[in-house]
Chains A and B, each alone.
Chain A
Amino acid sequence: MSSVATLHGADVHTGHDDAHHGHHHETFISKYVFSQDHKMIAKQFLVTGIIWAIIGGMFSVIFRLQLGYPDATFPILEDFFGHWAKGGRIEPEFYYALVTMHGTILVFFVLTAGLSGTFANFLIPLQVGARDMASPMLNMLSYWFFFTASIVMFSSLFVQTGPASGGWTIYPPLSALGDASSGSKIGMDLWLVSMALFIVSSLLGGLNYISTILNLRTKGMSMTRLPLTVWSLFFTAVLGVLSFPVLLSGAILLLFDRNMGTSFFLSDIVINGKILPNEGGSAILFQHLFWFLGHPEVYIILLPAMGMSSEIISVNSRKPIFGYMAMVGSLFAIAILAFLVWAHHMFVTGLNPFLGSVFVLLTLLIAVPSAIKVFNWLTTLWRGSIRFTPGMLFAIGFVSLFISGGLTGIFLGNSGLDLHLHDTYFVIAHFHIVMGVASFFGMFAGVYHWYPKMFGRYLNNTMAYIHFWVTIIGAYLIFWPMHYEGLAGMPRRYYDYSNWQSFKQFGGLNEFISFVAMIVFATQLLFVFNFFYSMFKGRKVTSSNPWGANTLEWTTPINPGHGNWPGEIPEVYRGAYDYAKDGREFTPQNTPLGENESGDHH
Chain B
Amino acid sequence: MMNTVVMEQRKKIHPHKFTLWVGIAGILMMFAGLTSAFIVKRNQADWKPFVLPLTFWYSTAAIVLSSLTLFLAGRAYKAREMMRYRGLMTATIILGVLFILLQVVAFMQLYAIGEKLQSSVSISFLYVIVLLHGAHVIGGIIALIVLYAKAFNLKTKIYNSVPVEVTSTYWHFVDVLWIYLLLFLVMIN
Contacts and interface: CB of A to CB of B under 8 A. Distances in A.
Interface in B1-24: 2-16, 18-19, 22-23
Contacts of A246: 29-30, 32-33
B9 A218 contact: yes
Contact of B7 (A1, A25, A216, A253): A216
Contacts of B118: 260-263
Contacts of B18: 134, 210-211, 214-215
A6 interface: yes
B5 A562 contact: yes
B68 interface: no
A304 to B, nearest CB: 18
Contact of B117 (A130, A261, A281): A261
Interface in B45-74: 46-48
Interface residues of B, number: 47
Contacts, number: 163
A481 interface: no
B19 A243 contact: no
B183 interface: no
Contact of A252 (B19, B26, B132): B132
B41 interface: yes
Contact of A285 (B13, B16, B30, B37): B37
A499 interface: no
A210 B120 CA distance: 40
B125 to A, nearest CB: 8
A135 B4 contact: no
A21 interface: no
Contacts of B124: 256, 262-264
A266 to B, nearest CB: 10
Nearest to A260: B117
Contact of B15 (A129, A212, A261, A280): A212
Given A212-B15, A264-B121, A292-B33, A11 B25 contact: no
A203 B11 contact: no
A216 B9 contact: yes
Contacts of A281: 121
5 contacts: A7-B6, A25-B2, A135-B19, A241-B29, A281-B121
Nearest to B125: A264
Interface of A: 1-3, 5-8, 11-12, 23, 25-26, 30, 36-37, 129-132, 134-136, 138, 203, 206-208, 210-212, 214-219, 241-246, 248-250, 252-253, 256, 260-264, 279-282, 285, 288-289, 292, 562-563, 569
Given A131-B6, A215-B13, A288 B40 contact: yes
A2 B29 CA distance: 29
B6 A8 contact: yes
Contact of A562 (B3, B11, B34, B132): B3
Given A1-B14, A2-B160, A11-B4, 11 more contacts: A1-B161, A2-B14, A12-B5, A30-B2, A136-B5, A210-B18, A216-B9, A245-B29, A262-B124, A263-B124, A563-B5
A14 to B, nearest CB: 13
A75 to B, nearest CB: 48
Interface of B: 2-16, 18-19, 22-23, 25-27, 29-34, 36-37, 40-41, 44, 46-48, 117-118, 120-121, 124-125, 128, 132, 160-162
The 10 closest A-B pairs by CB, nearest first: A245-B30, A134-B15, A246-B33, A249-B33, A25-B2, A262-B124, A245-B29, A2-B14, A131-B5, A280-B121
Nearest to B120: A280
A138 B4 contact: no
A150 B18 CA distance: 29
B46 A2 contact: no
Contacts of B10: 219
Chain A binding site: helix, strand, loop or mixed by DSSP? loop
A242 B14 contact: no
Contacts of A215: 9, 11-13, 15, 18
A559 to B, nearest CB: 17
Given A250-B33, A285-B40, A289-B37, A211 B117 contact: no
A2 B16 CA distance: 10
B128 A210 contact: no
A244 B40 CA distance: 20
Q: Which interface residue of B3, B11, B41, B124 has the most chain A CB atoms within 10 A?
A: B3
B168 to A, nearest CB: 15
A241 B26 contact: yes
A263 B41 CA distance: 11
Q: Which interface residue of A36, A249, A282 has the most chain B CB atoms within 10 A?
A: A249
Given A211-B19, A256-B124, A130 B7 contact: yes
A280 B10 CA distance: 55
A253 B37 contact: yes
Nearest to A292: B33
Nearest to A138: B19
A23 B2 contact: yes
A246 B25 CA distance: 12
A282 B13 contact: no
A36 B1 CA distance: 12
Given A207-B19, A214-B18, A244-B26, A8 B162 contact: no
B16 A5 contact: no
A217 to B, nearest CB: 7
Nearest to B47: A280
Q: Which interface residue of A5, A25, A243 has the most chain B CB atoms within 10 A?
A: A5
A498 to B, nearest CB: 42
A134 B29 contact: no
Contacts of B30: 245-246, 248-249
Nearest to B14: A2
A249 B37 CA distance: 10
A515 B130 CA distance: 54
Nearest to A263: B121
B1 to A, nearest CB: 9
A255 to B, nearest CB: 10
